[in-house]
Amino acid sequence: MVTQTDFSTGRLPTWCPGCGDFGIWAAIKNALVKLNLGPADAVFVFGIGCNSNMYDCFQAVNFESLHGRPLPLASGIRLVNNKLPVFVIAGDGDALGEGGNHFIHTARRNHDITYIIHDNQYYALTTGQTSPTSFCGFKTKSDPDGVIENPLNPLTLALSAGASFVARGFAGDITHLTDLIVKAHNHKGFSVLDVLQPCVTFNHVNTYQTYREKVYKLDAGYNPKDKMQAYAKAMEWEQTGKIPLGIFYEEERQIYEETMEQTQKVSLVQQPLNPIDLNSLINETL
């Protein structure tokens, strides 16, 4: 039986009191307990940012990547061992700024990875610069007169890039977020979970209170197989101000790892290392 304390390193995060990262951290641990996945049963790849401070406090098989690069690392892990569950934990800057290219290509390849994006609409660790999801008019360290660029919508981007599971959660609703993380993990394919994460220090527009006034949950009448409806729901926030939470889209599609003849039956990590004459390979390329 996996318990919450199995993931404890004895250290506490250095997040500001009230940071939404606490709620996401709790939901991740709840989900792992529900899934009965212990510290050695999955791999966690972190980006760089406030969110990734979780790395220090989370007893598991962890990698801290370069900023923007957790997805290539996670994809590599899946290619080598396609039986291993892989979670990626990163911020909106990491996921959609420096790592934006990786986001698109991991989605279209449909690697079986669960991607949890801490979307606080700021580069928080570096003290509050504009990120790709900062709203027009936000006053930030890098745009003191207000952001003039249009923000990226992580959900419509994920849908059009080909993510096979697209969902949105809220760090202030840990029970619902736990359920979404469980479902994202159970989905076979690239699962994008954009989590609205209040940053109490920099984001004074989208706070716990304003989110609570705007969020609502997609109900049983919503069909997550309908991609056009998913686009419409994903644009609702910018069009009406209401913020739907839940699974916007889910499809069954072959994952990249299973399209490769070499790994269809047996993971690379379980295959014998045949002696390869590297010299002939090197000579061929010289």
Ligand X SMILES: Cc1ncc(C[n+]2csc(CCOP(=O)(O)OP(=O)(O)O)c2C)c(N)n1
Per the CB < 8 A criterion, the answer to whether 195 and 170 are in contact is yes
Which of 43, 92, 113, 155 is the binder for ligand X (CB under 6 A)?
A: 92
CB of 202 to ligand X, least distance (A): 8
Query: Least Å distance between CB 50 and ligand SF4?
Result: 3
Which of ligand X, ligand SF4, none interacts with 47 (beta carbon under 5 to 8 A by kind)?
Answer: ligand X
Strands 43-46 and 86-91 come out as parallel
Q: What DSSP letter does each residue of 31-96 carry, written as one string? A: HHHHHT--TTSSEEEE-SSSGGGGGGGB-SEEEE--TT-HHHHHHHHHHH-TTS-EEEEEEHIIII
Chain positions 123 to 162 lying near ligand X, rule: CB under 6 A, are 123-126, 131
Look at residue 255 and give its three-state secondary structure.
coil
Exactly one of 20, 49, 169, 246 binds ligand X (CB under 6 A); which one? 49
Least Å distance between CB 205 and ligand SF4?
13
Q: What are phi and psi of 62, to 5 degrees?
A: -115, 145
Which span (22-30, 62-70, 249-257, 275-283) binds ligand X, by CB under 6 A?
A: 62-70
- Residues 233, 128, 19, 214: what is their CA dihedral angle, to the nearest 10 degrees? -30
Q: Which residues would be at the binding site for ligand SF4 (CB under 6 A)?
A: 15-16, 19, 21, 50, 120, 124, 199-202
List residues bridging with 243 in a β-sheet. 215
Residue placing its CB nearer to ligand SF4 in the complex, 19 or 158:
19
Q: Site residues (CB under 6 A) for ligand X?
A: 47-51, 66-68, 90-94, 98, 118, 120, 122-126, 131
